[in-house]
A and B are shown apart, each in its own frame.
Chain A
Amino acid sequence: AQSVTQLDSHVSVSEGTPVLLRCNYSSSYSPSLFWYVQHPNKGLQLLLKYTSAATLVKGINGFEAEFKKSETSFHLTKPSAHMSDAAEYFCVVSDRWGYKLSFGAGTTVTVRA
């Protein structure tokens, strides 16, 4: 079985400062990992995806994530936070066939002006 653990339930940053959202995964096979974002009262939007190609993955809106097998981590970063980044972020792992996604509990990001 596969699972993810998001290490922070809430992260607060100032506008223009870096954002780091931490995620550890557990999988018995080479995992496919994703980060999704959910703005209030909206559906989920895919930020980026890792599927065993490059370990550093670039996504939309300036986000990127690094896959570290030795640490079983897939942390999400952004060099400079914007007010529009305030949302909930989910780290997600797929089952072997890509049919079923398992979500972390989510990290709520607050951006201070």
Chain B
Amino acid sequence: KAGVTQTPRYLIKTRGQQVTLSCSPISGHRSVSWYQQTPGQGLQFLFEYFSETQRNKGNFPGRFSGRQFSNSRSEMNVSTLELGDSALYLCASSLALLGTRGAYEQYFGPGTRLTVT
């Protein structure tokens, strides 16, 4: 089975611009989560989607948004980029099922390295 794929792998943007990152989950996985990794703050949860619905959201400003499509692929968008948004953005997919309780493994993609200048 193919793993989680993320595109693009590297991106350079200017302050004030917006950016869209894409994530394709493992086939059959309907849950997709996004995380931001920075040297100062470590790995932080952004949001999680299941069947096109956002189920959970981290403590990030409204400039960070996401969506999930019917084929489970997900995108995240950051508007009005700031220098502090420079980070590795990781996407993870999981078999987590609707209405079930328990921790399913999350499988991570290689990440998108975003640099804001």
Selecting from B12-20, B68-76, B103-111, the interface stretch reads B103-111
Report the Cα distance A99→B56, complex, angstroms.
7
Contacts of B33 in A (CB 8 A): 99-101
* A85 CB, nearest partner CB in chain B, Å: 19
Report the Cα distance A49→B44, complex, angstroms.
20
Contacts of A106 in B (CB 8 A): 42-43
Q: Is the CB of A101 within 8 A of B110?
A: no
Contacts of A96 in B (CB 8 A): 101
* Contact A102/B107 with A43-B90, A95-B56 known, Cβ cut-off 8 Å: no
How many residues on chain A are close to B (CB under 8 Å)?
24
Q: Is the CB of B45 within 8 A of A98?
A: no
Q: Is the CB of A46 within 8 A of B107?
A: yes
Report the Cα distance A97→B109, complex, angstroms.
22
Mask: chain B, 39-70; 1 = CB below 8 Å from A; 0 = not = 00011110010100001101000000000000
Residue of B nearest to A94 (CB): B103
* Contact A51/B90 with A45-B108, A100-B56 known, Cβ cut-off 8 Å: no
Report the Cα distance A94→B48, complex, angstroms.
13
* A65 CB, nearest partner CB in chain B, Å: 14
* Contact A90/B103 with A43-B110, A99-B31, A100-B33 known, Cβ cut-off 8 Å: no
Residues on B facing A (Cβ under 8 Å):
4, 31, 33, 35, 42-45, 48, 50, 55-56, 58, 90, 92, 94, 96, 101-111
Residues on A facing B (Cβ under 8 Å):
32, 34, 36, 42-46, 49, 51, 90, 94-106
